[in-house]
Chains A and B, each alone.
Chain A
């Protein structure tokens, strides 16, 4: 490697450290204002861990869990921290309990496999590695790539074993880069945010969330094709992620590709039928395609979920009016005026058909 490249890498690392420190100070300041926000403690725990302060990290993860005992991310972070601190029993308790709750989560079995290898419990390790492979094909490929898995057998020489034992750190760093990426995205620094989120996705490629977040940042940037790619990757990993389909639909909407937008919004509604907003958007898509009966049906569903959904009611009134269903249109406009009596636009519409 030439000297220039070396110095560029050194500079980049220096910049990153500076950035992480700055974020750390900001999060610490927020904790002083909002000491009861579990999220902030979890974030600070991650930052402390990366900064090499495991005791500090532990106390913040524990604080996050005392504020919200069901906080899964903080639980897993604490578990990985215990592995890093070689507090095997505490780590094992956490991951066994999580694996009982989520028996099809390959990542938990993978972690238990790593943990048992670390503690010399080869038999138990193998059981969990096999379970991880059964849960997701990603793990078979991953172990193969690392040279750990060959023809149905686990192979660990000294070198491979060392690498294998460090695998659990991927989770922590992925969470960390994800958090930093989202933080930067909120500050409008989307190029840096993409860089961090890509690191997260590279470390744990089977986590749909990092791809979904990358998709959101690309959407924000206006890079719609890349956003679509990432949303689709997220949906390949988790095909039941309803909001992923909604995001795809919104992105296609921005590209004026309403046929695809409709297809994905229909799926989003099927998977997340309790979101009034999704029904409303689907109604707009149907209405734009003059499929009025379907549009009316979706608007009614939106209103059943949220009877104060003003725009759904206005849209419904307009659709009834266009179909010359005067009584129904009047009824909807009157309801709108009960909620917003100074809505002149709707008042005029009502007067026109009264």
Chain B
């Protein structure tokens, strides 16, 4: 379903604001229904384990994919990557 990029963008924005994600180092954009998320992924507290962060990423991806009009979600994170369907940390972020 075709939907305005701006409408998708505002929905992504609200999802990020409502989550426990620290989005201060995250940028996002929407290009013809494809959502890009880029930057350093952190959640609210530093105590969260990799397992919790992995789950948060899966949940974020699901929520964004469920926005009407979203064709795809591309993550370009500096500290996490998806391999064989699993989110893995790539390096520690200070």
Contacts and interface: CB of A to CB of B under 8 A. Distances in A.
The secondary structure that dominates the A interface is: helix
Interface in A245-267: 250-251, 253-254, 256, 258, 261
Contact of B36 (A258, A314, A342): A314
Interface string A297-315: 0000000000001111011
Given A250-B13, A310-B36, A285 B29 contact: no
Contacts of A280: 29
B29 A315 contact: yes
Given A250-B10, A281-B6, A284-B4, 17 more contacts: A250-B14, A253-B7, A261-B6, A261-B10, A284-B5, A285-B4, A288-B5, A310-B27, A310-B36, A310-B38, A311-B28, A311-B30, A314-B36, A318-B31, A340-B38, A343-B76, A345-B74
Nearest to A306: B27
A339 B93 CA distance: 20
A284 B36 CA distance: 14
B10 A254 contact: yes
A219 interface: yes
A287 B9 CA distance: 13
A171 B86 CA distance: 52
Contacts of B27: 309-311
The secondary structure that dominates the B interface is: mixed
A314 B72 CA distance: 15
Given A261-B6, A284-B6, A254 B14 contact: yes
B21 interface: no
Contact of B7 (A220, A258, A315): A258
Contacts of A315: 29, 31
Contacts of A311: 27-31, 36, 38
29 contacts: A220-B17, A250-B13, A253-B7, A253-B9, A253-B10, A254-B7, A254-B11, A256-B7, A258-B6, A258-B7, A261-B10, A284-B4, A284-B9, A285-B6, A288-B7, A310-B27, A310-B29, A310-B36, A310-B38, A311-B27, A311-B28, A311-B29, A311-B36, A314-B31, A315-B31, A318-B32, A340-B38, A342-B76, A345-B74
Interface residues of B, number: 22
B91 interface: no
A16 B6 CA distance: 41
Contacts of A318: 31-32
Nearest to B68: A256
A91 to B, nearest CB: 37
Interface in A292-343: 309-312, 314-315, 318, 340, 342-343
